[in-house]
A and B are shown apart, each in its own frame.
Chain A
């Protein structure tokens, strides 16, 4: 039987990165095909090629035995490929019917919108999915699951025979996820081929027929789900690899001295209670999947969001962190996940970005900034983190991602910070700069700074951290240290502990 979809020997490079290397994937009609791999393994790139968003450097896309050349998303839609992205493409203020038919509204004989016809068609689609969703209610008022079902209905209304679901369950509750699986089974009966991306092992084993594992842009293997085990898949995902971009592992942690003691921290009144200890000079990893609650905990800790309950000690003294400013006063800094939207003031120069929260130290008797002193300090800090920029006056927006991250780091070096929280510090940064940032983090711990590093990249956690807290669904599922800190055990806890 010819496969419904066949990706043949796909390769794709971006400047400096080989994103995909000779990847092939077959999906048959009525098959749910899991695509498995760590962040950065190349899953998203492959799916974007399937949807016509990227064009492959080499290789072919064959749908129903016909070779396709997609020049854009629309071409892929026309060929019967539908994709449900993690961020929905729905308009929140419109209802389900208007969303489904957006841009291709049905018209009546007068050339006006044929609302009744569209309602009928939408109802037909929902019947096919066996879901009941109010048709005339702005979708912003619907649950995330319902919105997702509308996305699926929309794809089906475009005659999609191949459906890509990119981590569809990440934002769903377990019972909503079950409903989604029911719909997927229904579609499977109807001969739709699906590519399912998920990090949750149990879901793979619940709903999928075949699985393809990717790692570092290459296909590691594929097999029937029935003939494999979670442990086997994790082994394939993680693999064994040589990483020499990390500084030589040396533990600077002094386990006798607790710097930050989170005795009890509850983000929501009815949410789980977190507790953690951070030691002097330690690098503690927050591992887990995207959306597992790591950033939320960090934000709650520094008071960027108001936690329901917090009992925190800093060097033995109780502290109340109600605002990032009070965290700063206690010597806790956060380097946020998104440099451009949360870290940097893009219209500012490097100097202004670095001195942003240090300005008061350049004041004399009058509350005026002494520019000379400010420039000098900024230049020194830039040199100490090796920012490559023509001058401190260079607009920070002109720098590369790695250098921008170093500017953010420099900002916090102007303080005598005791705890620094790095949220995905190397996202979107090339390997060379990554390695420099790792080295900087080690320099900091050698000086007695304690670090929490939130990272979705396993090698980073393994290569750098002395200890790791693994998050799953908003809770700390495990704290790993020493020999227990290995990729298998992290993946095991991060995916819900199904494999054992």
Chain B
């Protein structure tokens, strides 16, 4: 009897505890914010909650969302990667240029991804081994990557891609659009990396206390190199989707994308100083930005005003999450 009587109490207790621990995670407030904005948009716009609009929304979000995975890693370790937009353009134009030059598309894509990785490693080498501040290094390489993309293309888009290349930006698999599938895959990999591998734990540790991590015998510089290399790779994946979607390699693509990616990470509850954040939060942050863009467009709000509204909502969201989270 007493056993039976005690069971519901324990269950309620543990539910309460679980709620409390859920509230402590960095994604709690971003999720609430996302739900509020989502419902608001659905109430204001009749067209918002339609299947085709939601698919549109997810596809439009995918590019920033994918870049934001690499950005999350950088921010988590207390760094930042400003070069993601130009690196995306550089890898995208490299893929397009190679395909047009007759390289088999699969190989060209692989090489394009390698360009992203190599550029990321270039960033990482200065940050990890020369000990230079990430914001300065990637600010400088941002210009280098954009310049290389412009030199490579001569400043003109590279067109003339084969029709099957459209698969990555416009195609679909099992009824789901490819960019969305790629986004899901990148997030799944990011989630496993961050939350289920030793490497992921080290990245949190580096952001939490780099000196303590190093003194406890972790080779911090190697992991920093890895972080910026991966950020280059995610930028290149975004470049693949964009190039395929536009069916041309655009050297001027991705201007300002680094800021959207940073906004997504921070809206997702990550601390800009590092050590705190979750990959799921970044997805929520990216989707939140996407919902705002989409909803404001549907409402016919002028793009100029959209910038102001988005900026104010980001400020408000971060103000609330900083107040509430320990």
Contact = CB atoms under 8 A, between A and B. Distances in A.
B201 A352 contact: yes
B168 interface: no
A342 interface: yes
A432 to B, nearest CB: 25
Interface majority SS on B: helix, strand, loop or mixed? helix
B215 A324 contact: yes
B205 A368 contact: no
Given A345-B208, A348-B205, A356 B197 contact: no
Nearest 7 CB-CB pairs, A to B? A328-B217, A359-B198, A345-B208, A357-B216, A325-B217, A324-B217, A347-B208
A357 B218 contact: yes
B209 interface: yes
Interface in B195-209: 196-199, 201-202, 204-205, 208-209
B198 A363 contact: yes
Interface of A: 302, 304, 323-325, 327-329, 333-334, 336, 341-348, 352, 355-357, 359-360, 363, 367-369, 411
Given A336-B215, A347-B276, 5 more contacts: A323-B217, A334-B215, A357-B217, A369-B196, A411-B216
A356 B214 contact: no
Interface string B65-103: 000000000000000000000000000000000000000
B261 to A, nearest CB: 23
A325 B215 CA distance: 8
Contact of B209 (A327, A344, A368): A344
Interface centre among B212, B213, B219 (most CB of A within 10 A): B212
B215 A342 contact: yes
Contact of A304 (B192, B202, B204, B214): B214
A101 B215 CA distance: 41
Nearest to A359: B198
B201 A325 contact: no
Contacts of A348: 204-205, 208
A368 B197 contact: yes
27 contacts: A324-B214, A324-B216, A325-B217, A325-B219, A327-B217, A328-B216, A328-B217, A334-B215, A336-B212, A344-B209, A344-B212, A345-B205, A345-B208, A345-B213, A345-B275, A346-B208, A347-B208, A347-B275, A348-B208, A352-B204, A356-B201, A357-B217, A357-B218, A359-B201, A367-B197, A368-B192, A369-B197
A369 B201 contact: yes
Contacts of A357: 216-218
Nearest to A323: B219
Of B213, B217, B219, most A-chain CB atoms within 10 Å: B217
B212 A341 contact: yes
Contacts of B197: 367-369
A479 to B, nearest CB: 26
B316 to A, nearest CB: 25
Contacts of B198: 359-360, 363, 367, 369
B192, B213, B216 interface centre (most CB from chain A within 10 Å): B216
Given A357-B218, A411-B216, A342 B211 contact: yes
Interface residues of B, number: 22
Which of B196, B197, B198: most chain A Cβ within 10 A? B198
A323 B205 CA distance: 17
A356 B205 contact: yes
Contacts of A343: 212, 215
Nearest to B326: A395
A228 B184 CA distance: 80
A334 to B, nearest CB: 6
Contact of A345 (B192, B196, B212, B219): B212
B192 A346 contact: no
Nearest to A371: B196
A328 to B, nearest CB: 3
Contacts of B204: 345, 347-348, 352
B276 A356 contact: no
B288 to A, nearest CB: 24
A167 B178 CA distance: 68
A367 B198 CA distance: 8
A131 to B, nearest CB: 36
Contacts of A325: 217-219
A149 B190 CA distance: 55
Interface in B207-248: 208-209, 211-219
- Most A C-beta atoms less than 10 A away, residue of B197, B204, B209, B211: B209
Contacts of A344: 209, 212
A334 B198 CA distance: 21
Given A368-B192, A368-B197, A356 B211 contact: no
Which interface residue of A323, A363, A411 has the most chain B CB atoms within 10 A? A323
Contacts of A327: 217
B201 A342 contact: no
Interface string B272-292: 000110000000000000000
A338 B202 CA distance: 20
Contacts of A360: 198
A356 B208 CA distance: 12
B279 to A, nearest CB: 15
A389 B144 CA distance: 51
Most chain B CB within a 10 A radius of its CB, from A329, A343, A346, A357: A357
Contacts of B196: 368-369
A336 B214 CA distance: 11
B205 A341 contact: no
Nearest to B24: A395
A304 B215 contact: yes
A356 B215 contact: no
A229 to B, nearest CB: 43
A330 to B, nearest CB: 10
A460 to B, nearest CB: 22
A162 to B, nearest CB: 38
Contacts of A347: 204, 208, 275-276
Nearest to A368: B196
A221 B299 CA distance: 83
A255 B199 CA distance: 41
A418 B315 CA distance: 52
Nearest to B195: A369
Contacts of A302: 215
Interface centre among A346, A368, A411 (most CB of B within 10 A): A368
A346 B201 contact: no
B212 A333 contact: no
B28 to A, nearest CB: 16
A353 to B, nearest CB: 9
Nearest to B222: A325
Contacts of B192: 368
Contacts of B199: 367
B42 to A, nearest CB: 36
B270 to A, nearest CB: 12
B25 to A, nearest CB: 12
A352 B275 CA distance: 13
A344 B209 CA distance: 7
A356 B219 contact: no
A426 B209 CA distance: 21
A334 B211 CA distance: 12
Contacts of A356: 201, 205, 213, 216, 218
A244 B296 CA distance: 73
